[in-house]
Amino acid sequence: MSVIELGESVPALTPHATSVSLPKWSDNIGYEEGQERVLSKMVTGYPRFFIHKLIAAFAEDIVKKVGTPGEQAMLFPSTRTARRCVDFMHSRDPSISTDKIHVVDLVLDVSRTDSEMLKKISPAISAVIYPKDLFPLAKQYWQHSGDGVQSRRAEFCHGLFQEGILVEKSVLQPLSNGFQKGPRRYQKGSVDKTPPKAHQNGSDVVKTRNDSSLNGSAENRESSQFLEERFGRNLDVSFVDNAKSAIRRRIAGSLMGEVDLSATPGPDMGSNRRGVADISESDVYLYPCGMNSIFNAHRMMLEARGPMKSISFGFPYVDTLKILEKFGPGCVFYGNGESEDLDDLESRLESGERFLALFCEFPGNPMLKCPDLQRIRKLADKYDFGVVVDETIGNFINVHVLPYADVVVSSLTKIFSGECNVMGGSTILNPRGRYYQSLKKVAEVEYEDNCWAEDAIFLERNSRHFVSRIERINENADLICDILRAHPLVQDVYYPKYNPSRQFYDACRTPNGGYGGLLSFTFKKMEQAIAFYDRLETAKGPSLGTNFTLVSPYVILAHFLELDWAAQFGVPGDLIRISVGLEDAEDLTSRFAIALKAAEETTK
């Protein structure tokens, strides 16, 4: 494959891609330093760090219509998520006047459409409007919480807003003489056999049958065409409900492979594929992204158990720690995640300290270390605290973590989807957990399904063969790991199979489970790492769990302003992280051999 150009989406020409190409080591540094050379070429970026241009365009139009000069807008999928952003901004800076920030709710004007599907899907946007100088504060909430609107929803709703179908809730227009049909892909029985146009800067225009236009993308057409061509019908909102049910069942372990979305789902019988009896799809909650599932798991715990500090155990994904530090009473951070840290925690517990929950990843990112879940579970049972495990990297085909957790969270954006073109997250409540009933009661009141319909369709489709994909990726990762471990210039390789914490991984490993598709490594010298990275012909950018191999100098991207802080927990700044894909093994090893040769050239 040819290396994707700097700033282009990964995958290339994918309007709603969840990664961006940073093909040279210097590009990653340039991005973090804000160099114009890099930023000017960014077509997109990782969705919680880079506000998608389709979202930014919609926000700008909203401010033009309902704001004032000098203001900006941050977009959310619901009133409650928007108001949480406002509350966060005031909590971080109490000096902000309450009249400086306001929320505008945009809802469907049902008098202007005869589309029953559009009415049922009920598109809505809530905009937090604030002075431009408060953008960094609003962006903090967007990034940490994952509550922000997704790009497909923003693109779709922007079209409705331009047509006057999506209006301010407080000024709904009176019934008009003529109905607007709404976007054709939400009209039952309509068929469009118009072939896709060529990409125009990642997006183009989709015409509806009544000649109204929406800013659309190739993928938007693909969503309807896929259903039309594969199933012989257009996108029906009833499929969205069934798609979400199929996704929840896959996550619960009771559904593998394909399902007919046009058929009514049968009874959910539960499954032991999760290692816990009686789990059903009603115990699975879907969120717009993985970080949002973590954010809401923390919120649910606080609501169910009251305000107490949490425990962040092991080197965490950056925003998980920020959530625990900035929302609620704070946390105790054990960045090494070693047995000695559990000794210290046990001493605190014995002395009377009480905690809300322990949050950990299994395995951790990027060092692939695994916490001792068996010991953590025993401590939790004895001293009454929750256990929240992020299984994104391990995934339940390889490991069973639910028996040791009260809550399991995951980013469905990663290996569950694999296509790198849709965001999603999930939370599972363990029906055998101590706090199950109290968490369910909180969920009944607090849970909002903010997963956009088109995203659900993509996610369901992408996840149909995730079992076989994981098996292939396990094999490829094992192969790449062995190649790196055998190379004389490679200093260390971090992979669950070879880490000192392997015993903790194996204690949770399923009978046929592998060691996952993520690994990290370091060279003996920085210049070797740079030469390898620059020469490697794979996709290079943020994210992981893709069907194609994706590589990044992860610590530079995640911790550029705190490299010394990361280093004190054994996380080196020159580390290279590899998310191994589905490529042919011979082709993949050839690419790595060529890149390793480039590293060798630096020693001559």
Across 81-90, 262-271, 378-387, least confident range: 262-271
Mean pLDDT rounded to a whole number for the chain = 89
Phi, psi of 411 (to 5 degrees): -95, 110
pLDDT at position 287 is 98
pLDDT at residue 196 is higher than 60: no
- Using the CB atoms, write b or e for 212-232: b if 16+ within 10 Å: bebbbbbbbbebbbebbeeee
Express each pLDDT in 151-161 by its tens digit. Answer: 999 999 999 99
Phi, psi of 581 (to 5 degrees): -110, -155
Computed on alpha carbons and rounded to an integer, the radius of gyration of the chain in Å comes to 24
Please report, as a single letter, which amino acid is at residue 597: K
pLDDT at position 270 is 60
Collapsing DSSP to helix, strand or coil, 126 comes out as strand
- For residues 190 and 454, the model is more confident at 454
- The dihedral over CA atoms of 358, 360, 362, 365, expressed in degrees to the nearest 10, equals -170
pLDDT at residue 252 is higher than 80: yes
Express each pLDDT in 516-544 by its tens digit. Answer: 999 999 999 999 999 999 999 999 999 99
- Helix, strand, coil shares, percent, the chain, to 5: 45, 15, 40
- The tally of CA atoms less than 13 A away on the side-chain side of residue 197 is 12
Express each pLDDT in 80-130 by its tens digit. Answer: 999 999 999 999 999 999 899 999 999 999 999 888 888 888 899 999 999
CA distances from 165 to 104, 122, 157, 211, 308 (A): 15, 11, 9, 15, 45
Express each pLDDT in 351-366 by its tens digit. Answer: 999 999 999 999 999 9
Express each pLDDT in 323-354 by its tens digit. Answer: 999 999 999 999 999 999 999 999 999 999 99
Query: What confidence category does residue 238 fall into, taking pLDDT thresholds of 50, 70 and 90?
Result: low
- Using the CB atoms, write b or e for 541-550: b if 16+ within 10 Å: bbbbbbbbbb
Which tokens hold the place of 604? 């001559």
Which tokens hold the place of 526? 């920085």
Phi/psi-derived region of residue 129, left when phi > 0, alpha when psi is between -120 and 50, beta in every other case: beta
| Spatial CA neighbour of 413 closest among 362, 473, 462, 470 | 462
Contact 86, 101 (CB under 8 A): yes
Q: What percent of the chain has pLDDT over 90?
A: 80
Phi, psi of 110 (to 5 degrees): -65, -15
DSSP 153-184: HHHHHHHHHHTTSEEEGGGPPPPPSS-B---G
pLDDT at residue 184 is higher than 80: no
Across 78-82, 94-98, 211-215, 268-272, least confident range: 211-215
First-to-final CA distance of the chain: 28
Which positions ≥6 away from 352 have C-beta within 8 Å? none
Query: What confidence category does residue 311 fall into, taking pLDDT thresholds of 50, 70 and 90?
Result: very high
pLDDT at residue 235 is higher than 60: no
pLDDT at position 324 is 97
Residue 269 DSSP code: -
pLDDT at position 52 is 96
Residue 476 DSSP code: H
Residue that is written with structure tokens 């050239």 in the block:
601
pLDDT at position 187 is 43
| Spatial CA neighbour of 75 closest among 14, 156, 184, 172 | 156
Residue that is written with structure tokens 């054709």 in the block:
184
Across 140-154, 252-266, 545-559, least confident range: 252-266
pLDDT at residue 3 is higher than 90: no
pLDDT at position 2 is 67
pLDDT at position 163 is 94
Preceding omega of 11 cis (within 30 degrees of 0) = yes
Average pLDDT value for residue range 147-168: 96
CA distance 254 to 210: 43
Contact 572, 461 (CB under 8 A): no
Query: What confidence category does residue 198 fall into, taking pLDDT thresholds of 50, 70 and 90?
Result: very low
DSSP 361-429: ESS-TTT-----HHHHHHHHHHHT-EEEEE-TTT-TTTB--GGG-SEEEEETTTTTT-SSS---EEEEE
Contact 122, 18 (CB under 8 A): no
Residue 132 DSSP code: G
pLDDT at residue 253 is higher than 70: yes
pLDDT at residue 210 is higher than 60: no
Which tokens hold the place of 153? 């929803």
- For residues 223 and 544, the model is more confident at 544
pLDDT at position 1 is 57
pLDDT at residue 221 is higher than 80: no
pLDDT at residue 177 is higher than 60: no
Average pLDDT value for residue range 507-515: 96
Chain centroid to CA 170: 33
Ranges 178-192, 228-242, 560-574, most confident: 560-574
Collapsing DSSP to helix, strand or coil, 334 comes out as strand
H or E element: which one contains 215?
strand 213-216
Query: What confidence category does residue 237 fall into, taking pLDDT thresholds of 50, 70 and 90?
Result: low
Contact 185, 114 (CB under 8 A): no
Please report, as a single letter, which amino acid is at residue 425: G
